[in-house]
Amino acid sequence: MQSIYRAYDVRGIYPDEVNAESVKKIGRQCARIFESGKVVISQDGRHGGAELRRAFCEGLLEEAGRTGREFELIQVPLSTSPMFYYLVGYYRASGGAMVTASHNPKEYNGIKAVRREGDSVMFVSGTEIGAIEL
């Protein structure tokens, strides 16, 4: 099986490779990366998007309780990736996550995360999120 990690996102077949459990772990890790503040979370229209969005939020908030960080979630149930990036800037969010598999076939889903100013969270193994075990 090919790794679900890409340089700037995580993508794989839903729910075999990317599922609520794996995305919840990514949410926990993002709670350690993002500064306290607003966090934008959105999804595109792919199958499983709502479940993955909820799982990311659960992981983020659970870990926030452990780290002492506080997050105000701004949930956008449906958007495009460009709209998501715009909203992160518009709300001056400390970070955000977009549930999407970009141009991949319909059986895929995934997630991309950004920090304040739209800087991507790195997903490749050995850095930031890629170091966690899914």
Nearest to 61 by CA among 103, 11, 109, 27: 27
| CA gap 102, 111 in Å, rounded | 9
pLDDT at 120: 87
Which residues are tagged catalytic?
Answer: 102
- Write down the pTM of the prediction: 0.90
Report, as ranges of residue numbers, the positions in the chain whose pLDDT lies below 70.
1-2, 123-134
pLDDT at 125: 47
Q: Looking at the domain that runs over 10-129, which CATH code has it been given? A: 3.40.120.10
